[in-house]
Structure formats: structure tokens, C-alpha cells
Chain A
Amino acid sequence: MIKIRAKDVDVFYGKKQALFNISLDIEENQVTALIGPSGCGKSTFLRCLNRMNDVIDICSVKGEILINDFNINDKSCDVVRLREKIGMVFQKPNPFPKTLYENVSYGPTIHGMAQSKQEMDEIVETSLKKAALWEEVKDRLHEPGTGLSGGQQQRLCIARAISVRPEVILMDEPCSALDPIATAQIEELIDELKKEHTIIIVTHSMAQAARVSQNTGFFHLGQLIEHGSTDKIFKNPDNKKTQDYITGRFG
């Protein structure tokens, strides 16, 4: 089933066009990887999906992005509700300078999702469990989140993102600042999370894309060159550029 449908999306930074005519369908409860060389626009596209580009003054987005058949670029779209439904995990772990508990309860608090302290405790616990962090931190929930290791911090950010039970999780190179062991943990987690969430991951590592994703889109110079099942893209791409990139001839 199609969860997100992008139609002819153009993005401009001031006068410079960063994305050209992107049309891409994203399947529900699957992992979609966006690959491509640096500066090709894959992160920009990702940030279109929860309207994070609004934060950048000079950035403007054209075209339609339908999530559950609703155009999020429409004026009637409530960005707060949208971002509640579409969580995001960033390249560099960015826990708030607060305690672990406050980090995870942040989203539920601002969206008024818990009626009592007990309910909030439950949300925090389930989120941390889903992010495979509970066992490591359950005794120090009230210590600062910034005291964790890099991999733990990133899992904390994932717990924070899933605490509001989003339908989609956007991941912008979530493992690029982590060591191989932490990376493996996150990848395992992604596999688990796709049961309940639709996941879109931007990655520089083709091996990672091949390991975690079912679908892959290849971006180059602001254009979506090719997209399809990961198997097909990696084994038998239609486009020569894709093949060159996959085999490491440029990038």
C-alpha cells in the first residue's frame, strides 16, 4: 500500500534549485532507502516530508506530497499534527539537555498524550523498550541524556521519535556518527520498527541500504534517477548512472 506519494516536487534554496521534479511512492511498513552522492538532494527531499524545510527562511517547496492522500503542502495542513505523525531522527544524535525521561516524554507532553504520571511512565517505558534502550538505562532515567554514549544517544532520539507513535519515521543518515557495533544495533532496530512504522532512511552507505531497505531511490544532482525494489536497484539497475554509483565508480 502506498503511504506517501510525492508528485513533481521542486525545491529551491533562494534562486538555486535543489530538487527537480521528484515523483516517488513510498510503501507502507517498509524501509525505503534514499542513496546518492553528497549534495544530491536526498536529505532535502526527506525534510520535505515533515516540512522541516519551513525552518529555513530561503527554502521553498513546490509540488504535491500526499500522505494518506492528504497534501501536506496545502495551506490547511497543520504542521504540528503533521510532525506528530511523521517522526524524524537526525544525522548527529541531538538529545535535549534534559534527563532521559524528559527527552522521551517531550513529545507526549506537548501533544497532551498522557493524562496522568502513570500513563506517561508507561509511554516512556514502551518507547525505550521499542528503541532497545530500556535495559541499559532503566535505573538512570533521571540522569542527563547527554551523558550516554553516541549509539545510546541515537537510540534515545529514536525512542523520542516513536514516543508519539508516528506513522512514518524519517532517518537522516542515522548511523554516520556511530561505530560499527552501534550501527548494527540501530539497523536491527530499524528492521523491528518497520512492523509498526513506515521508514525512510537517507544513507551514504550502500551496504546499509542493501541490508535494511526493501525499496531504494537513487538521487543524483537533484534528480531521482531510479527507484524500485532494493534487490533490483542493486543487482540489475536500469540506468547506467545507478550502476556506476552502486559499483563505486563515482560518488
Chain B
Amino acid sequence: MNLILFTFIVLLGFTSYYFGRRKAYTIQSTKKRLTALPQFYGYYLAIWCAIPAFIIFSLWAIFEPTIVKLLILSDYSNQGYLDDELNLLYEKSKALSRGQFTGEITPFIEASAEKYLSLRSIAQSSKVVIVLSAIIASVAYAYKRISSNSRTREPVEKFLNAVLFTASLAAILTTVGIVFSLIFQTIDFFKVIPLFDFVFGTHWYPAKAFVRDSSEALDPTMYSDTFGAVPIFAGTFFIAFIAMCVAIPIGLMSGIYLAEYASTKVRQYAKPLIEILAGIPTVVYGFFAALTVGPFLKELGTSMGLEVSAESALAAGGVMGIMIIPFISSLSDDVITSVPQSLRDGSYAMGATKSETIKRVIFPAALPGIVGSILLGVSRAIGETMIVVMASGLAANLTLNPLESTSTITAQIVVILIGDQAFGDPKTQAAFALGMSLFLVTLCLNIVALRVVKKYREKYE
């Protein structure tokens, strides 16, 4: 029903557009000059069709269920029911009206279900009537206005402005919402676990919290020495560091090769090939790390008399580095290519060789962009989850030995939130606290990146 109505409104919109434009042509044929191009008249009418429909639809969606519920429950008022019981009654009659109710059907519920159905159909038909009459009224009003050749361009532009503003507002509000939910859960978490223990504790063992019997009262002392985040922060930065050790030199050098040395033909094939690396899902990298690189490193290490864990930070970090190569190479390639040719010419004309030109002129000029690409790579490395979960184990060891296994913030969030979770439990809230810390770290990184870029830009441009 709603779909038919919606289609009909869309059709009405198109018709109003057509009428608006025709009106404009009529005005034009009387040798009067139009105040805007004919299609603006069309858009103007279509907007007058869309706005009332949209407003009524959204009001209906917000208020209809509440009003129906009130009307049904008014039968039961003054009979001494509790709020919860009333809600249950309402849900039961709703389910019955859809034929999904399986429990015992009492006459009361049956009567309510019938009433629910009749109310819904009344609501539905009144909605159709109201929407259509509102549209017709508003379009008629607008049509009358444009016949006097009034302004239509400005309202259309304003409408577009409002639509675009709403879209960006939605994006911002969502972000703010997510951040606030993180903040509140984090605050709850720190009510149970002292901030000091979280930031400076060196023992991360959330499994201890799993075994708690939920009927027991919450005992904060039980969690001491459970949520010390130092090992996983150390692990996160350690693995990111290994990844960047792989990604920065290879990415940067391949970027320079593509931008400065490669012939057009090589570049044409090599660049998309490198960018394919960026398109491989991280899960694939994950099992590549876990099933190929990890065991290979272990064998290699054993043959050299080293003790290597099958799930090592080196395997995860190395594969993560390979994953990040295309980001750095592709971005730095773009940045280097965008350094003006006149600077290259100037350097070559002084007798500089290619490598001198790159080292002394192009690289410094491209540095802000290169730093930006590297920091972007670091953010990726810190936020990467799948490879670590699969290849570096889940035990949060505090170690700086790349041959042992460590864990990261993201991997721990996965561990905590897999399976059943209870809200309001410190174990679940720990995930929010970790998410919050991750968010803060990435935020700081971005701020630093912006600062660095700005500083160099002032110096070089």
C-alpha cells in the first residue's frame, strides 16, 4: 500500500515538473521574459509536491504507532494493569493481527487485534487522503504563483542547499553519536576498573572476567590485574612498526620508480597491478600470513636454531606491511607526479642527474604528501584486525621479540565481542574502552599528520 502511494507521489512529482515547465513555455509564448530557465519552474512545482508528502509521511511514521497503541490500551485503562502487562497485551494483539501469535487466545486479545486491524486500515486510508489532498493543495498554490512569473530560481537553489546540508548533517550526527556511545560506555567501564590500572597495568587477561557467575554481585577487586592495557598497546604499536618497516621503504621506492623512472608503458601496467594489492580482502592476507608466512618463518627460524612461534608478530606485521605497500606507493607516486615539471627542468638544466634531482628537489617538494601517505598507512596498520587475529594469536604477551606472538587492540576487541555478550558487563565495556583508545590514537595521528603537512607546506610553497 505504502509502495503504491509512494509510486503515485513520484508520478505526481514528474507531472508537476512537466506542468511547471509547460507553464513557463506558455509565459514565454506571450513574449514575456522568464525570470528563470523553464526547467526551474518544473523543479519548483516538483519541490512543492515533494515537501508536504515528505513531512506528512515522516509525521505519520513517528506518531501513528503511538496513537494506535494509546487507542487500543484505552480499553484496558482503569483495570489495574501494570505498564509491562499493558505492553505485553499490545504486543500480543499486534502479533495476532498478523497471524503470528502462538499462545493462548483470549477474547480480550482477539477484540484488541480486531480493533488494531481496523485502526490501522483507518489510519492507512486517512493517510492516503491527507497526503494526496495536501499535495494537490500545495501544487495548486505553487502553480498559481508561477503563473504570475514570480521567482523560481532562488527557492530551488535554497531547497538544494537544504538537502545537501541535511546530508552532511546526517554524516556528522552519526559520527557524534558513535563517539558519545563510546564515551558513555567507557565511563561506565572506568567506574569499575580504575583508569590507572587500565593505562599502566601490564596484565591483560579478560578471560578471567568470562568465568564470573553473573548471579554474583559485582566485585571490583576481582578485576584487578585483568584489564591492564599496556601489553596490547605495545603489541599494536609493535606490529604497526614492523608493518611500516616493510611498507615504507618498498612503497616509497616503488612510488619513486613509477613516477620518475618507469616508461609510460611499464607504468601503464605496473600501477594497476600494484593497486590490485589494495583490493585483496584482508581475510585473504590473514590466511596468507597464518598458513604460509607464519609456518615458513617458523621453519626458517628452527633451521637457524631460533625459537619461533608459528603465530609471530613478524608474520602478521610483515604481511600487514605488504598490504599497506600499495597505499604508500600509489599515493607517493601521485604526489611526486604532481611536482611541477618546471622544477625538474630547472634541476636537469643545472646538470643534475636523475637521482640528484629526486633527492634534492623532488623529494623535498613532495614531502608533505609523502608524510601524509605514510601516516595514512600507519592508521591502517593500527586499525587492521583480521591479519592479527589470524596470524599473531590472541594472547596479549608483553614482548618486544618479533618472533613471539602478541596481540593488538583490534584483535582483543574481536576476542571480547565474539559470542554471547552482556551489556553493562565490564568485559563488554572493555571493548568500548579499547575502541575509545583506538579512536583517540588515530585522532592524534591525524592531527599530527595535518600539522606536519601544514608546516612543510608553509616552508615549501
Contacts and interface: CB of A to CB of B under 8 A. Distances in A.
Interface stretch (B24-32, B121-129, B348-356): B348-356
Given A55-B345, A57-B263, A146-B461, A97 B364 contact: yes
Contact of A110 (B343, B351, B364): B351
Give chain B's interface residue range (CB within 8 Å of chain A): 20 to 34
B342 interface: yes
A111 B347 contact: no
Nearest to B352: A110
B351 A80 contact: yes
Nearest to B344: A55
A90 B461 contact: no
A94 B340 CA distance: 9
Contacts of B342: 90, 92, 94
Contacts of A97: 343, 361, 364-365, 459-461
A87 interface: yes
Nearest to B264: A57
Interface in B323-373: 340, 342-353, 356, 360-361, 364-365
Contacts of A164: 350-351
Given A96-B361, A97-B461, A106-B360, A111 B349 contact: no
Given A90-B345, A92-B342, A98 B350 contact: no
B461 A106 contact: no
Interface string A207-249: 0000000000000000000000000000000000000000000
A211 B343 CA distance: 30
Contacts of B361: 96-98
A52 interface: yes
Given A96-B361, A106-B360, A83 B461 contact: no
A33 B347 CA distance: 24
Interface string A140-169: 000010100000000001001100100000
Contacts of B349: 50, 52, 83, 87-88, 90, 161
A172 to B, nearest CB: 10
A63 interface: no
Interface in B408-461: 459-461
B364 A83 contact: no
Contacts of A57: 263-264
A157 B350 CA distance: 10
Interface string A64-92: 00000000000000011111100110101
A90 B344 CA distance: 12
A121 B343 CA distance: 24
A107 interface: yes
A107 B350 contact: yes
Contacts of A88: 349
Give chain A's interface residue range (CB within 8 Å of chain B): 20 to 34
B346 A94 contact: yes
Contacts of B356: 110
A84 B356 CA distance: 14
B343 A94 contact: yes
A41 to B, nearest CB: 18
Contacts of A157: 346
A243 to B, nearest CB: 35
Contacts of A110: 350-353, 356, 360
A96 B344 CA distance: 9
Nearest to A170: B349
Given A90-B342, A90-B345, A94-B346, A84 B351 contact: yes
Given A57-B263, A96-B343, A160 B365 contact: no
Contacts of B343: 94, 96-97
B353 A80 contact: yes
A47 B402 CA distance: 55
A157 B348 CA distance: 13
A11 B348 CA distance: 20
Contacts of B365: 96-97
Contacts of B461: 97, 146
Interface of A: 50, 52, 55, 57, 79-84, 87-88, 90, 92, 94-98, 106-107, 110-111, 144, 146, 157, 160-161, 164
11 contacts: A52-B349, A87-B349, A90-B346, A90-B349, A94-B340, A97-B364, A98-B361, A107-B351, A110-B350, A110-B360, A160-B350
Given A94-B340, A106-B352, 14 more contacts: A57-B263, A79-B351, A83-B349, A87-B349, A87-B350, A88-B349, A98-B361, A106-B347, A106-B350, A110-B351, A110-B352, A146-B460, A157-B346, A160-B350
